[in-house]
Amino acid sequence: MTQLAARRARPGPARVPALAVLQYHLVGYRRTWRGGALSSFLLPTLTVLGFGVGVGAYIDQGVDGVSYLEWIVGGLLASTALQVAIAESTWPVYSSLQWTKIYFAQHAAPLRVADIVAGQLAFVLLRVLTSAAVFLLVTGVLGALRSPWAVLALPVAALLGLAVAAPTFAYAATASSDSWLALLFRFAVIPMTLFAGVFFPVESLPVGLRWLAYATPLWHAVDLSRAATLGTAPVWSVTGHLLYLAAWAAGGWLLAHRALRRRLVV
């Protein structure tokens, strides 16, 4: 300790503070990743079995001229990205504010609100990317991908992850009780998963609902992701999709920053 006082360094904020925040999240993840890793292999395997062998057997004609499994795999990849992104930005964010109060500790160090948001979202992004990569790997090995363009589904998953994680961060940071988080799953995640074109084409919905589906960020990622795994052109323009998802990500990021600032700077 005496050496400590003598060896007075010039303390300063970390050079890339958000990176230090990301490292913190990774240290925590190192303790829990095994349980998560198994399920991220399990899900795509079950998908191929369930939809290829099970449901697929009832849908003889396939969809748009490809087997149901091949048709659905791109959408499921996007919906996996959605699930991971939202799971990683609801309770972890809420807990860091309300239970462990980690964000307050980070803010007492030389980190800015922006660093805390960026570090957390970078971690979410990493989780989304690794889950999507495993999904792609397993479905690829099992022969459910029709095109090498399928690798482009990864950046799409990442963009979707950000597009939903950022506003979810804002929502979780604003929530006054954790029952609000469960509501998000009931009223946003599940309906989106069911109706945003993952399991059947949005075009089979009545017009009103169809526009609701178009409004979800998930549908845009599903369309891109499916195009990538099938090696076809998406229904909508690629640029349009990307801009729409980017708008969600950017808007969500601003909201997340504002929400966390409200909580930390009082």
Q: In the bound complex, what is the minimum distance in angstroms from residue 87's beta carbon to other proteins? A: 16
Q: Which of 45, 98, 112, 238 binds other proteins (CB under 8 A)?
A: 112
Please select the residue that binds other proteins; options are 71, 106, 186, 193, rule is CB under 8 A.
Answer: 106
How far apart, in whole angstroms, are the C-alpha atoms of residue 169 and residue 124? 10
**Which residue number, 104 or 211, has a Cβ lying nearer to other proteins?**
104
* Helical spans, DSSP H, in 88-237: 91-98, 102-108, 113-141, 153-174, 179-184, 190-195, 207-215, 217-230
* Residue 263 makes contact with other proteins by CB under 8 A: no
Binding window for other proteins (CB under 8 A); candidates: 59-67, 109-117, 159-167, 228-236: 109-117
Binding residue for other proteins (CB under 8 A) from 38, 55, 104, 215? 104
CB neighbourhood size of 212 (10 A): 16
- Burial of 166 per CB tally in 10 Å (0-12, 13-18, 19+): buried
What does the block give as tokens for 81? 């990205």
Going by C-alpha positions, the residue among 187, 221, 208, 207 that lies closest to residue 82 is: 221
Helix or strand (DSSP H, E) at 5: helix 2-6
Q: Assign 3-class secondary structure to 35-89.
A: HHHHHHHHHHHHHHHHHHHHHHHHCCCCECCECHHHHHHHHHHHHHHHHHHHHCC
How far, in Å, CA of 155 to CA of 249, rounded? 14
Stretch that binds other proteins, among 4-12, 65-73, 152-160, 196-204 (CB under 8 A): 4-12
Task: Report helix angle 68-87 to 153-174, nearest 10.
Answer: 30
* For other proteins, the closer CB: 7 or 186: 7
Q: Whole-angstrom Cα distance, residue 256 to residue 97? A: 13
- Could you tell me how many residues of this chain bind other proteins (CB under 8 A)? 36
Is 23 an interacting residue with respect to other proteins (CB under 8 A)? Answer: yes
- Whichever of 3 and 204 has its CB closer to other proteins, that residue is 3
Q: Residue 258 interacts with other proteins (CB under 8 A)?
A: no
Question: Residue 79 in contact with residue 193, Cβ under 8 Å?
Answer: yes
Q: Is 126 in the site for other proteins (CB under 8 A)?
A: no
Span of 16-24, 44-52, 173-181, 197-205 interacting with other proteins by CB under 8 A: 16-24
**Tokens found for residue 20:** 């230090």
* Pick 210 or 261: Cβ nearer other proteins: 261
> Using the rule CB under 8 A, is 109 a contact of other proteins?
yes
CB-side neighbour CA atoms (13 Å) of 11 = 7
Q: Which stretch binds other proteins (CB under 8 A): 15-23, 122-130, 156-164, 232-240?
A: 15-23
- Which of the ranges 95-103, 187-195, 229-237, 252-260 carries the binding residues for other proteins, by CB under 8 A? 95-103
Q: What residues between 25 and 44 interact with other proteins by CB under 8 A?
A: 27-28, 31
- Site residues (CB under 8 A) for other proteins? 1-5, 7-9, 11-15, 17, 20-21, 23-24, 27-28, 31, 100-102, 104-112, 264-266
